[in-house]
Structures are given as C-alpha cells and as structure tokens.
Amino acid sequence: MGSAAASLGSPVVLARTLQEAREAGMDETSLLKIRGDEPWDERPRLWSRIMRAIRIDGFPIRVAQRYSAGEIGPLGLTAQVAPDLRSAFERLLQHQHVLAGTVLSRMRDDVERGITIFEILPVEGGDLGGRCRREMMIATGIQFARDITGVRVRPRRVCFRHAEPNDPREHEEFFDAEIRFDADYDGLEFDRDTLAIPLPGADADLSQFLVAHLRALAGDPPAAAATLQGLVRQAIGRRLGNSTLAMSALAQELGMSTRTLRRRLLEQQTSYHDILDRVRRELADELLDDPSHKLSEVAFLLGFSDASAFHRAYVRWTGHTPASRRRAWWPAPAGIPARSA
C-alpha cells in the first residue's frame, strides 16, 4: 500500500475543506498558499491556519455536511453495498489505511452499557488543528451514516475530549443528540438498533467482489490479521501465570519491536491490551467454575497482581463480581460459608 492508494480520498477531503473556507470568507491570498497536496500529517496545521482566519466554531461541521460516500471511490461503494450500518462502518475501518495511509479510528463494543463506540484515535495532537480535524471526522461519520441509510441517523451520544467551544449551536443542530465535552475520548456512541439499520443499496454479490478488490488494492494477505492476533493470543496464553505480560517482552518473543507490534495491531483496529482483556475474560469463567481454585489463585493464573485487581476487571467485563459467579454455579451448603479467598 503506497501513496497512490492513500490518495484515493484525501484530495477530495481537502478540496471540500478549502471550498467551505472560501465560502466562509477566508481571503484568496491565504488560500493560494495552500498547495493542495499536503500529506496527512500536515493537515492539522492547515486546519489551524483556516480556523484562525475564519473564527467560526461550527466550521468542521459545515465541512462534514458536504460529505458524500460516493466521493471515496471503491471504499465508499464497498460500504454502501453492506447489509447494514454496522457492517458498513466495519468495512470503512478495516480498509481505512487505503484511504488515509494510516489508521485514524476504531470501533469497539461496550457490553456493559449495550453500546458500540466509534472512536477517533488521538494521533493528531490536541492543538486547534488536531481538535477541529477530529470534530470534522466525527461529524463525517454521522453524515456518512445518513447518506448511505437515507435516514437521519442520531447517535446516542457525541464525545469530544476538548472543552466546549464558544458557540456550539451548529454542533447541537447537526448531531441532534447529547454532546459531552471534556470527555475521555473523541467519538460517537451508537445503540444496537441504530447500527442494525439496513442499507437500501445492500448487494451480497457486489459486496463480495468489492471487498476482495479492496484487499488486493491494499496489498493485505487475506489472513494476515487473524494470523497476527492469533500469535498474540497464543503468546499471552503461554505467559499467563508464568511470565511477565509486558507488551515489550511479548513483542520480543514474536521477533518485532514493541512499536511495530503496537502499530500492526492498531492497523487491525485492536491493541495488545484489548487482546489480553479478551483472553483473560474467556478464561475467567472457566477458572471460576472450578471450585478447587480460590479467587486469589484465579487472579494469579490470569496474570493479575492480586485478587482485588481481578475483582475490578471482572466487574468491568460482566457487571457482576467473581464471587457472585461462583455462588451461582456452586452454592455453599446450608450453614457453610462459601470459599472465596
């Protein structure tokens, strides 16, 4: 995957931004200083220049409203023929490096809250330009959803890590949902019903063809993601309760640097800690259902520092305590307290 692939959508996004800036009153002299072929890592600086020139808090929202899924070529079309909105988002994220040359976002489920989070990763810094670029990308996610479904999709919540702008009216009108500033991450929260909205352009045969085309365009071996994540899972399984679970040690075992492992997992919209969490979660119930293991032993076997750390993690995963899981499966005989430590 090279610069040709990365150029599929970026000129369109920049052209849309510059056209909106012109209409917002940015002077032509300043606009002419922008070449139009700046790489992605220079875009936040361009946004800073534009925002300081026009001073309109809602500018990123205006840019997003110009978005059309058809503008990003094969990637947009592949998303449009998916069966539902969730599948469309998953395709965009899986192949986002074809469009941008890097990974800018991910999607993750929050099982406890019954939501799915579409998160913009903090790869562009917290300055004015990076902040506004993330606002634009978040708003573009909603505009994309509305474009391909034909429905005025509303997220459950919109989250921004930065403080509320002086004039958030355009944000409020566009999103038509709760907006939380000073949040823990930048992104959107969706409920299951919203992501289950069927797409009017769904086409199974065309979908299969386009997904294969994107994989070939990106130069990705079909099973590369599954292979790497499988290797990480196996290495974690070998280390639980026996060796350090530090990412650096595991990366060394796999023959790569920590930085390379982090980047390759990020490209697959996951992380070392996400995989570690899943492995521990899957083993936790199996160990808890064996009454021969005390809770402290279960914690040790899962690689936690102590029982309290395991307790907190298990509550986060399931909404229940480890002890309650154990009591549900192995209730203590009358008059005998349950064994837990």
User: Can you give the CATH number for the domain in which 309 is found?
Assistant: 1.10.10.60
Q: What CA–CA distance (Å, rounded) separates 275 from 252?
A: 17
Residues 134 and 173 in one domain: yes
Quote the CA–CA distance of 264 and 333 in Å, as a whole number: 51
pLDDT one-digit tens code per residue, 269-301: 889 999 999 889 888 888 888 777 788 888 888
Both 184 and 237 in one domain: the answer is: no
Q: Cα separations (Å) of 190 from 89, 128, 196, 244, 288?
A: 12, 27, 10, 36, 32
Give residue 325's pLDDT band: very low, low, confident or very high (50, 70, 90): confident
In this structure, is residue 314 part of a structural domain?
A: yes
In this structure, what token pair is assigned to residue 308? 């309290």
Q: Give the model confidence (pLDDT) of 201-247 as tens digits.
A: 998 878 777 777 766 666 554 444 557 787 888 788 877 776 678 88
Does one domain contain both 272 and 188? no
In a shared domain, residues 164 and 239: no
Residues 162 and 232 in one domain: no
Same domain, 155 and 256: no
Say how many domains are in the chain.
2
Residue 176 — φ and ψ, nearest 5°? 55, 45
What is the SS3 assignment for the chain? Answer: CCHHHHCCCHHHHHHHHHHHHHHCCCCHHHHHCCCCCCCHHHHHHHHHHHHHHHCCCCHHHHHHCCCCHHHHHHHHHHHHCCCEHHHHHHHHHHCHHHHHCCCCEEEEEECCCCEEEEEECCCCCCCHHHHHHHHHHHHHHHHHHHHHHCCCCCCCEEECCCCCCCCCHHHHHHHCCEEECCCCCEEEEEEHHHHCCECCCCCHHHHHHHHHHHHHHHCCCCCHHHHHHHHHHHHHHHHCCCCCCCHHHHHHHCCCCHHHHHHHHHHCCCCHHHHHHHHHHHHHHHHHCCCCCCHHHHHHHCCCCCHHHHHHHHHHHHCCCHHHHHHHHCCCCCCCCCCCC
Quick one: 133 and 236 in the same domain?
no
What are the tens digits of pLDDT across the range 8-41? 345 566 777 888 888 888 887 777 777 666 666 6
The predicted model scores a pTM of 0.61
**Residue 219 placed within a domain:** no
**Residue 59 pLDDT > 80:** yes
Of 105-119, 195-209, 244-258, where does mean pLDDT reach its minimum? 244-258
Q: Which two tokens stand for residue 336?
A: 């005998």
Domain check: are 33 and 75 in the same one? yes
Domain assignment present for residue 216? The answer is: no
284-292 CB contacts, 8 Å cutoff, 24+ apart: 284/310, 284/314, 284/317, 284/322, 285/325, 288/322, 288/325, 288/326, 288/329, 289/325, 289/326, 289/329, 289/330, 291/326, 291/330, 291/339
If asked whether residues 238 and 298 sit together in one domain, one would say: yes
Which residues are paired to 238 by β-bridges? Answer: none
Per residue in 86-105, pLDDT tens?
989 988 887 776 666 566 78
Separation between Cα atoms, residue 108 and residue 119, nearest integer Å = 8
Q: How do residues 162-188 score in pLDDT, each as one tens digit?
A: 999 999 999 999 999 999 999 999 999
Tell me the residue range of the domain where 81 lies. Answer: 3-195
Count Cβ atoms below 10 Å from residue 148 Cβ, excluding itself.
Answer: 25
- Tell me, what amino acid is at 47? W
Same domain, 171 and 251: no
